[in-house]
A and B are shown apart, each in its own frame.
Chain A
Amino acid sequence: MDSQAINDLKKLLGADAVLHRPEELLLYEYDGSVEIARPNCVVFPRATPDVVGIVQIANRYDVPIVGRGAGTGLSGGALAREGGILVVFSRMNQILEIDIENQRATVQPGLVNLDLSVAVAHAGLHFAPDPSSQRASTIGGNVSENSGGPHTLAYGVTTNHVLSLEVVLPTGELVRLGSPALDSPGYDLDGLFVGSEGTLGLVTEITVKLTRNPEAVKTLLAIFDTVDDATETVVEITARGITPAACEMLDGWTIRAVEAYVHAGFPVDCAAVLLLEVDGLREAVEQHADDVADVCRLHHAREVRVARDETERALLWKGRKNAFGAVGRLSPTYYVQDGVIPRTKLPDTLRRINEIGKRNGFEIGNIFHAGDGNLHPIILFDAREDEQFRRAVATADEIIGFCIEMGGSITGEHGVGMEKDRLMPLLFNEDELNLMRRVRDAFNPAGLLNPGKIFPTTKGCGEIHVRPLPAMGASRA
């Protein structure tokens, strides 16, 4: 990248807001996925005009530009795949307005997800999307990826909670989409931009809905001796029309990893647990908890525990939300998939994942949002061995292939990014991909913003194959 561009950025933002030495960039070549890509420089805007200025400089020097929050993403969405300027929003982390009465908040993109819920807790409100990364991940990142989380089963994903966005387009244009009042006239631009994985614009302000905390919550832990019993339970809960606030499954392998780390109180000798939560009015919660427990017992739950107080409840959730951290202690690198299947197909799919893993020589852990059929099989591998890495990816691809066969999707909440772009042709034909490319090009005409994401980079990628190892010459070690 032109050193004059770096100088311009320093002039705009101050020297302390621009990193460009190789050792400074190291941290920014990763996110939460297995992908690696090194930017040429990293910048930290403090306000919207900074972002406009950065985009203008990127245009002047014709360099790519990529937005990034906390870098917890799981698909390489916030990595500078083709180098260029990485715009990190950590200094734009203010809550601009809280409107308790109207249950709205306007925030900057770098605000950490949980910080918003903490800030409105006194009023009995929270921000509903709760990705497991919510202690670190930013709302801007959540918007880009349309993040989910355990409680999105009942409360919806990020897009269901966003009302208005201020966006800097890759052309440098500043636009406001949607409005804090509902049903903004015209096309649903918010709906398009949320989940567009940072390919249409850099979001600089977000107005969200706040959700009232439920009056009563019951958290249940159902313990099973077979995975089949646990998955059959989920099928029946869904079919009976019971919508828990959350319905998470952890298999025995994951439980043992979690217990070694968090001591959440999951029984290490079982095959699977379901972590179920029901919430709402006291009168309704009592009955729903009983209904859920009945279904669990009908499907041979060994035990159904109900958290007795907030401490017990918090501990169970700590186990769930730290599961990936726990897995990280077992292996320096692991590969998490994010396929979605119709919920009726859970038992078949879990059996198939197990079989695929065995055949490829991997033990696959499963921890996932069972209630909405969003799987997260975890494949541990040693990144130093290229062959093992290739095999892990091939195994993951086989699992995804099965999800699609079941009528599912390749990603439920992690995004396509640079990790699943080559899988897109499995779901969309060339016409459909071209239509989406044209939508991108309408807002991102020069392709400067987050290039190399979502769309397969090579044509004719009609079958699953092992993808080339990460570009950018970076090593995975």
Chain B
Amino acid sequence: MSTASATVGSRLADIVGSQHVITDPVHLTAFAIDGKTPSVAVRPQSSAEIAGVVKFAAKEQLAIVTTGARTKLGIGQPPRQYDIALDTTRLDRVVAYDPGDLTLSVEAGIPLHKLGGILAEHHQFLPLGVPYQSQTTIGGTIASGVDSPLRQLYGTARDYLLGMEFVTGEGIVAKSGGRVVKNVTGYDIHKLMIGALGTLGVITRVNFKTFPTPASSRAFIATFQTVERACGMRNRVLRSPLAPMTLELFSPGVADLFSSEAAARIEPNPMPENVISATRWTFTAGFCGNENTLKRYEADLREMANECGAVDAAVLVSPQIAPAFARKREFVPIALSSSPATTILKICVLPMKMSEILKSAGQAAETNHLRWVAMARGVGVIYFAMLPTERSDETKRHSAQAADQILAACAALGGHATVPWCLTEWKDVLKVWGLPRPDFAQMQKLKTVFDPHAVLSPGRFAGGI
């Protein structure tokens, strides 16, 4: 440990207590981001302590990265500077939960699964079926902007986030929004924090609307010879009065992926047999309701699948649903551990362009000799994973070429794509944040307001923010 970092450590100990300062290099490797290890990690317990840490960092021109369960630190560009890891996991309290009002206020470091348990006691839930479910914190979920299959019915966090408390890059503790379900008082600053990778503030508390857990749910599965037909099924369903909870299409390669050892390590419950076809495109839709509603969904979906040329169709019931849903939820970590050099693109297009972009993306990967799999959500958000068999200069070049082609194809269709997950060493050639966007200049204005000294996660965000 250098003298400088020892001084920093002792100064930080004054703020958070010496037992909550980590300076041991061995332990600090757990906080590494893209190969950069901080010189110190702190575990504050309150927003006031966080404000103290941030003010100290701003004064000393040190850079902070906020961490939770550290499952998604690979998203974004490598930090330009990284001195202090600000671990939020001691902020893990439920501040207020009023089941009768279906509102919840929690600290950012609370693990999502723990929160799920508390809500389940009241037959409620948050529709955050996000990856790394058994580890991730609520703060990390919001800051990374990951999504959930349940967005088909419930929308994304921005649709049920009611308010937030955060600490700015100047160490100001501020709140935005509130705890009531409808509120237009002041600017919706909390929405800016979603997916911002902690570049505008350290999220310390979040307020949500909760939802009643559906009494009963099932899933419908159908397989199709071509991506066009599978997309045709998606279109047919969403033109109907049906409102499924989830709707995804899976490329043929996903069957192998989901039955792999990598998948079993992440989700131990086995995948139900014959759910995802190894040779065809698979359509899945989850739905909920009373017995009559479930029957209606089944009957209508079977009929639609027939009309759309499905090869086969099946209905999953509990207990098969949970392991299948878990794999869908954990698509990203499963794909990441399925290749020594996985690159995952997040592609967003208008729903009617899905079939076209999936074809272009598949071609781009194949032209570059890359195995690929895709999970396409019905709303037009696609996770496209390229899985080279080895990590080499050649696969790097091929992955970058394929990604560039996909980015261009996506832009030509009026959509946008990013590369949230890839090897650190490949970030010099992969366009992590996609193609430049005209609104990046407006984003820079906000960065200047919230973090004028660039203390918070400098360099990790879009446009070099």
Contact of A283 with B293 at beta-carbon distance under 8 Å, contacts A175-B442, A411-B183 already known: yes
- What is the CA–CA distance of A138 and B303 in the complex, to the nearest angstrom? 41
- What is the CA–CA distance of A56 and B101 in the complex, to the nearest angstrom? 48
The minimal Cβ–Cβ distance linking B412 to chain A, given in whole angstroms, is: 13
Interface segment out of the listed B9-17, B192-200, B314-322: B192-200
**Of the candidates A239, A284, A411, A435, which one forms a contact with B172 in the assembled complex, judged by CB atoms under 8 Å apart?**
A435
B253 at the interface (CB under 8 A from A): no
Question: A192 contacts B187, CB within 8 Å?
Answer: yes
Which residues of chain A are near B124, meaning CB under 8 Å? 241
Question: B180 contacts A431, CB within 8 Å?
Answer: no
Question: A439 contacts B187, CB within 8 Å?
Answer: yes
Q: Residue on A with the closest CB to B415?
A: A181
B373 at the interface (CB under 8 A from A): no
Which residues of chain A are near B265, meaning CB under 8 Å? none
Q: Residue on B with the closest CB to A423?
A: B185
B352 at the interface (CB under 8 A from A): yes
Question: B186 contacts A192, CB within 8 Å?
Answer: no
A71 at the interface (CB under 8 A from B): no
Q: Residue on A with the closest CB to B187?
A: A436
Interface segment out of the listed A264-272, A305-313, A368-376, A465-473: A368-376
Could you mark each residue 334-362 of chain B with 1 if its beta carbon is under 8 Å from any beta carbon of chain A, else 0?
Answer: 00000000000010111110000000000
Question: B348 contacts A160, CB within 8 Å?
Answer: no
Could you mark each residue 174-213 of chain B with 1 if its beta carbon is under 8 Å from any beta carbon of chain A, else 0?
Answer: 1110111111111111011011100010000000000110
**Of the candidates A177, A427, A431, which one forms a contact with B178 in the assembled complex, judged by CB atoms under 8 Å apart?**
A427
- What is the CA–CA distance of A281 and B185 in the complex, to the nearest angstrom? 35
Contact of A177 with B439 at beta-carbon distance under 8 Å, contacts A156-B159, A241-B102, A283-B289 already known: yes
Question: B235 contacts A183, CB within 8 Å?
Answer: no
B422 at the interface (CB under 8 A from A): no
Q: Residue on B with the closest CB to A280?
A: B243
- What is the CA–CA distance of A373 and B442 in the complex, to the nearest angstrom? 35
B267 at the interface (CB under 8 A from A): no
**Of the candidates A145, A185, A212, A439, which one forms a contact with B437 in the assembled complex, judged by CB atoms under 8 Å apart?**
A185
A319 at the interface (CB under 8 A from B): no
- What is the CA–CA distance of A179 and B264 in the complex, to the nearest angstrom? 37
Which residues of chain A are near B100, meaning CB under 8 Å? 235, 238-239, 343-344
Q: Residue on A with the closest CB to B214?
A: A241
Which residues of chain B are near A303, meaning CB under 8 Å? none
Interface segment out of the listed B29-37, B55-63, B304-312, B445-453: B445-453
Question: A428 contacts B182, CB within 8 Å?
Answer: no
Contact of A442 with B182 at beta-carbon distance under 8 Å, contacts A102-B350, A181-B349, A194-B188 already known: no
Question: A415 contacts B184, CB within 8 Å?
Answer: yes
The minimal Cβ–Cβ distance linking A166 to chain B, given in whole angstroms, is: 11
Which residues of chain A are near B183, meaning CB under 8 Å? 340, 409, 411-412
Which residues of chain B are near A242, meaning CB under 8 Å? 212
Which residues of chain B are near A195, meaning CB under 8 Å? 184, 187-188
- What is the CA–CA distance of A288 and B5 in the complex, to the nearest angstrom? 62
- What is the CA–CA distance of A102 and B439 in the complex, to the nearest angstrom? 24
A448 at the interface (CB under 8 A from B): no
Residues A420-475 near B (CB distance < 8 A): 420, 424, 427-428, 431-432, 435-436, 438-440, 442-443, 454
Which residues of chain B are near A185, meaning CB under 8 Å? 416, 418, 433-434, 437, 462
**Of the candidates A160, A343, A439, which one forms a contact with B159 in the assembled complex, judged by CB atoms under 8 Å apart?**
A160
Contact of A239 with B99 at beta-carbon distance under 8 Å, contacts A410-B185, A435-B189 already known: yes
Residues B156-173 near A (CB distance < 8 A): 156, 158-159, 168, 172-173
- What is the CA–CA distance of A432 and B174 in the complex, to the nearest angstrom? 5
Contact of A182 with B379 at beta-carbon distance under 8 Å, contacts A159-B188, A187-B443, A409-B180 already known: yes
- What is the CA–CA distance of A416 and B187 in the complex, to the nearest angstrom? 10
- What is the CA–CA distance of A103 and B378 in the complex, to the nearest angstrom? 13
Question: A284 contacts B289, CB within 8 Å?
Answer: yes
Residues A146-199 near B (CB distance < 8 A): 146, 148, 152, 156-157, 159-160, 175-189, 191-192, 194-196
Question: B159 contacts A438, CB within 8 Å?
Answer: no
Question: A284 contacts B293, CB within 8 Å?
Answer: yes
Q: Residue on B with the closest CB to A215?
A: B241
Which residues of chain A are near B346, meaning CB under 8 Å? 183
The minimal Cβ–Cβ distance linking A23 to chain B, given in whole angstroms, is: 34
A287 at the interface (CB under 8 A from B): yes
A341 at the interface (CB under 8 A from B): yes
Question: A188 contacts B439, CB within 8 Å?
Answer: no
Contact of A156 with B194 at beta-carbon distance under 8 Å, contacts A342-B103, A414-B184 already known: no
Question: B98 contacts A175, CB within 8 Å?
Answer: no
Contact of A104 with B350 at beta-carbon distance under 8 Å, contacts A188-B158, A239-B99, A436-B187 already known: yes
A387 at the interface (CB under 8 A from B): no
B118 at the interface (CB under 8 A from A): no
Question: B439 contacts A189, CB within 8 Å?
Answer: yes
**Of the candidates B155, B172, B296, B381, which one forms a contact with A281 in the assembled complex, judged by CB atoms under 8 Å apart?**
B296
Which residues of chain A are near B159, meaning CB under 8 Å? 156, 160
A408 at the interface (CB under 8 A from B): yes
The minimal Cβ–Cβ distance linking B212 to chain A, given in whole angstroms, is: 3
Contact of A191 with B101 at beta-carbon distance under 8 Å, contacts A181-B350, A435-B189 already known: no
Question: A442 contacts B185, CB within 8 Å?
Answer: no
Which residues of chain B are near A189, meaning CB under 8 Å? 439, 442-443
Q: Could you say which of B98, B182, B188, B289 has the most chain A C-beta atoms within 10 Å of its C-beta?
A: B182
Contact of A191 with B188 at beta-carbon distance under 8 Å, contacts A182-B379, A340-B182, A373-B182 already known: yes
User: Footprint of B on A, CB under 8 Å?
Assistant: 99, 101-104, 145-146, 148, 152, 156-157, 159-160, 175-189, 191-192, 194-196, 212, 214-215, 235, 238-243, 280-284, 286-287, 340-344, 369, 372-374, 407-416, 420, 424, 427-428, 431-432, 435-436, 438-440, 442-443, 454
18 contacts between A and B (CB under 8 A): A156-B155, A176-B438, A176-B439, A181-B348, A185-B462, A189-B439, A191-B158, A195-B187, A241-B211, A241-B212, A282-B296, A284-B293, A340-B178, A412-B180, A428-B186, A431-B173, A431-B174, A436-B187
Known contacts A281-B242, A436-B186; can you find 17 more A-B pairs with CB under 8 A?
Answer: A145-B184, A175-B438, A175-B441, A181-B348, A181-B414, A183-B346, A187-B195, A188-B195, A284-B289, A287-B293, A341-B180, A344-B100, A344-B101, A407-B179, A412-B182, A435-B168, A442-B446
Which 9 A-B residue pairs are closest in the complex by CB-CB distance?
A241-B212, A191-B191, A215-B241, A283-B292, A442-B445, A412-B182, A239-B100, A181-B348, A181-B415
